């Protein structure tokens, strides 16, 4: 972990900031108390946390609103719809 040298600016890597943000989340402390205890400038911590959140939001896939539906051959006596929605879960609908 990066250490602060007298009067010098500390540069932390993304992984170091990520570890600090995770440690803060597990600590139960306020951001100000956590930063004071660790010797971190609060505004730097908040900026890093925001950037990590933005990066996560960009790379996290969003929920799918629509799923592809395939057209399968059927007879003219009715219809059937089958949805696979997870491990061993299938929903079948039939109509006339």
Question: What integer pLDDT is reported at residue 78 of this predicted model?
Answer: 76
Residue 86 is inside which H or E element, if any?
strand 79-86
DSSP 32-65: HHHHHHHT--HHHHHHHHHHHHHHHHHHSPPPPS
Question: What integer pLDDT is reported at residue 89 of this predicted model?
Answer: 87
Domain ranges, ordered by start, for the chain: 14-59
Distance (Å, whole) CA 34 – CA 13: 19
Q: Per residue of the chain (96 residues), what is the pLDDT tens digit? A: 555 556 678 899 999 999 999 999 999 999 999 999 999 999 999 999 999 988 877 666 667 667 677 666 656 677 888 888 877 888 888 887
Model confidence, pTM: 0.54
Question: What integer pLDDT is reported at residue 87 of this predicted model?
Answer: 78
Distance (Å, whole) CA 30 – CA 78: 61
């Amino acid at each position: 972990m990066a250490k602060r040298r007298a009067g010098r600016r500390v540069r932390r890597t993304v992984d170091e900031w990520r570890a600090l943000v995770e440690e803060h989340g597990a600590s139960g402390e306020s951001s100000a108390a956590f930063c004071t205890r660790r010797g971190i400038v609060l505004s730097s911590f908040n900026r890093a946390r925001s950037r990590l959140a933005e990066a996560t939001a960009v790379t996290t896939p969003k929920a799918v609103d629509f799923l592809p539906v395939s057209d399968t051959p059927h007879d003219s006596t009715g219809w059937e719809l089958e949805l696979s929605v997870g491990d061993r879960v299938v929903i079948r609908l039939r109509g006339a």
